[in-house]
Amino acid sequence: MQIEAVRQSVMGLPFDVVMLRSLRQTAKLLTTHFSTQIEGNRLSQAQVAEAVAGARFPGRERDEVEVRNYYQALEEVERLADVAGAIPESTVQKIHGLAFHGKSSSTPYRDGQNVIRDGGSGGIVYMPPEAPDVPELMADLMAWMNENLETRDLPSPIIAGLAHYQFATVHPYFDGNGRTARLLTTLILHKSGYGLKGIYSLEEHYARNLGAYYDALAVGDSQNYYMGRMEADVTGFLGYFCQGMAEAFTAVQVQALDAANRGAKDLSFLLRQLDPRQRRVLELFKGQGTATTVELANHLGLSPRTVVTLCRAWVEEGFLTLHDPSRKNRSFRLAAAIEEGL
């Protein structure tokens, strides 16, 4: 009931395009930071934002790549959430490919046994199902998940929580299972109306208390899948998952209400959310008010064709507005909200 109350409240709030884009960007960076932090990434929250924007951190190259890959996968999940119909199994494999390898091609499931060990003692914490059983288990999971998303016999948070649990239980890859499970959860929630405009992060709830996250997943009487988790009572994990959703939703409600109430009265905080290219063109617009695509291309060191595509996206996002639509002298100016923020 708490999840539903907050969902209805936030979905009804008025947001302008620029403000919503800013809140979404902040949520994506938080999600990227905390989800990769769970897997041992050493970049700070601020460094994650810089890495996504292209910054380099000598000695932390692996962390940089991991962050950029996850952010790329998260953007793909947002795009897929708007695609009608069932979630194909190949989509989950593609999400794993993006998050773990940085490639959009589907990755095959593991062909051998893997184990989860305690980071300190090295002892076995969990032994997933054998590789030959993985394809059937994953097919069953996807069929169950899509059927319930279509019939809506279960609330979407329950479907998402069970899908998260079962993916982690099957552990279909040698590595990258946790990240993919959390991305799949996000996809399910967004597709079924629980995206909350894309401005929340469940991953922060997990990362704040990793022990509780792992304890909630570790159900059953044995560390062996066939003797423990295959038929375990998952009530504890669902309770943990839904409590996390409720807390994440409630936390973002305060931020969303505040942002909606401010409206266009205080947009200076939005300027801090601009990407590096947008920050660079601010100098050009502040100096002359409007700019043609050729001027923008010269200022950014990009081809005019690339800038045309970039400007089209910026207009849709509410960063720019079209000043002169003529093909020969097409020019742009900053959107009114951005100018007011300046």
User: What local confidence, expressed as pLDDT, does residue 327 receive?
Assistant: 74
Query: CA 292, 24, 43 angle in degrees (round to 5)?
Result: 100
70 falls in which pLDDT band (50, 70, 90)?
A: very high
User: What local confidence, expressed as pLDDT, does residue 236 receive?
Assistant: 92
Least-confidence region, from 132-136, 223-227, 337-341: 337-341
User: What local confidence, expressed as pLDDT, does residue 200 receive?
Assistant: 86
Using CA atoms, how far apart are residues 184 and 203, in angstroms rounded to an integer? 12
Fold of 274-341: Arc Repressor Mutant, subunit A (1.10.10)
Nearest to 293 by CA among 315, 272, 271: 315
Is residue 52 within 8 A of residue 68, CB to CB? The reply is yes
Q: Which letter does DSSP use for residue 301 in this model?
A: T
What residue segments make up the domains of the chain, in order of their start? Answer: 2-261, 274-341
User: What local confidence, expressed as pLDDT, does residue 264 receive?
Assistant: 41
- Domain 2-261 shares a fold with domain 274-341: no
User: What local confidence, expressed as pLDDT, does residue 319 receive?
Assistant: 87
Its CATH class, for the domain covering 2-261, is mainly alpha
Query: pLDDT, tens digit, for every residue of 218-275?
Result: 887 788 999 878 888 999 999 999 999 999 888 888 777 776 666 544 445 556 678 8
| pTM of the full structure | 0.75
Using CA atoms, how far apart are residues 184 and 81, in angstroms rounded to an integer? 10
Residue with tokens 């979407």: 156
Nearest to 240 by CA among 195, 185, 171: 185
